[in-house]
Amino acid sequence: MITLSHVKKIFQSKSGPLTAVNDVNLSIPEGEIFGVIGYSGAGKSTLIRMLNGLEVPSDGTVDVNGQIVSKIKGKQLRQARQDISMIFQHFNLLWSRTVRDNIAFPLEIAGVEKEERYKRVNELIKLVGLEGREEAYPSQLSGGQKQRVGIARALANQPKVLLCDEATSALDPETTDSILDLLVDINKKFGLTIVLITHEMHVIKKICHRVAVMESGQVVELGEVLDVFRNPKEPITKRFVQQLTEGEETEASIHQVLESYPNGTILRVSFLEDATEQPYISRFIRKFEIDVNILQGNITHTQKGAIGTLLIHIEGSEEETTKSIAYLQEQSLGVEVIQHD
């Protein structure tokens, strides 16, 4: 569905060339919800804008639905964009038009007859949950309602790909979740391929199947969301994984744990949903001559299942500690040594 091959984007600035995207290779199959996460300046916005031709790569190719978007122009590009819609952080609605007329706008441009247009708009209003707000203007809507209008408008021409440019970052957490639920529903109903960029790991874990982590214009980590959460490899990915919703680990809480337990070994043990049925920890405690304290625990839910995480402190001889860690690793659990004295 979407293939990026050795894509590079260089901007010319007063201080010289600026490489925003550097040799990115990605393949996104049809029907996937694919996330791109990174801090400001990572290159993710430039990357997503190359998918619909708003930016042209300096090198490499961008193939979307069989069209080499990086090579086509004019009428051919406009036709290709019929299959590639986009929703934005700040909604980009027409403020002088009602909800109904905003949604109808792309259909008008496409030359759809009035009767068919009216029918399609009504279907979309129902789909995004805006019944009763058809004649309201954007100034009369909440942030979540505005984004629902944006989503409905983006779906008007029945695209095959939906690009989401920080689509929830201007919304409160509860509204964010409702919009993410809507995107999942749309993905399941229509098999729509969704590519979203964000700086919020909560968005990635809630709806994405796979994720690419970007830093300094490069994809530094790529994989199934479940695998990335369970075993983040790069320092930036580890920071993102730690920046989750209330109740989960934070750098501050880890620092507090380290201060409270300066001796012994602290482990972060992660396990997939099926492993919760196995008494790994009780076996672990009985099998080795070590003292064990469970310090923290949480469960993170993703589109492909849940991951449990335990932060545990163990004390014992060097030999018993080494053997106990090896035992946990043999059970196919994720084991990270945070501290070892």
DSSP string, 235-284: HHHHHHHHS-STTS--HHHHHHHHHH--SSEEEEEEEEGGGGGS-HHHHH
pLDDT (tens, 9 = 90+) of the chain, 341 residues, equals 899 999 999 999 888 999 999 999 999 999 999 999 999 999 999 999 999 999 999 999 999 988 899 888 888 888 888 899 999 888 899 999 999 999 999 999 989 999 999 999 999 999 999 999 999 999 999 999 999 999 999 999 999 999 999 999 888 989 999 999 999 999 999 999 999 999 988 899 899 999 999 999 999 999 999 888 878 889 999 888 876 633 455 554 566 666 777 788 988 888 776 665 677 888 888 889 999 888 887 777 777 777 778 888 899 899 999 999 999 888 878 788 887 76
> How far apart (Å, rounded) are the C-alpha atoms in residues 151 and 172?
17
CATH 3.30.70.260 maps onto the chain at 251-340
Query: Could you tell me if residue 148 is left (phi over 0), alpha (psi between -120 and 50 degrees) or otherwise beta?
Result: alpha
Architecture of domain 251-340 in this structure: 2-Layer Sandwich (3.30)
CA 156 to chain centre: 24
User: Quick one: which of 188, 194, 139 has its CA closest to 168?
Assistant: 194
Alpha-carbon torsion (48, 167, 188, 301), positive or negative: positive
Give me the DSSP letters along 5-47. EEEEEEEEETTEEEEEEEEEEEEE-TT-EEEEE--TTSSHHHH
CATH classification of 2-242 is 3.30.565.10, yes or no?
Answer: no
Residue ranges, comma separated, of all CATH 3.40.50.300 domains in the chain are 2-242
Give the Cα separation of 77 and 303 in Å (integer).
33
List the 161-165 sheet strands across, edge first.
84-88, 161-165, 193-198, 33-37, 210-215, 218-224
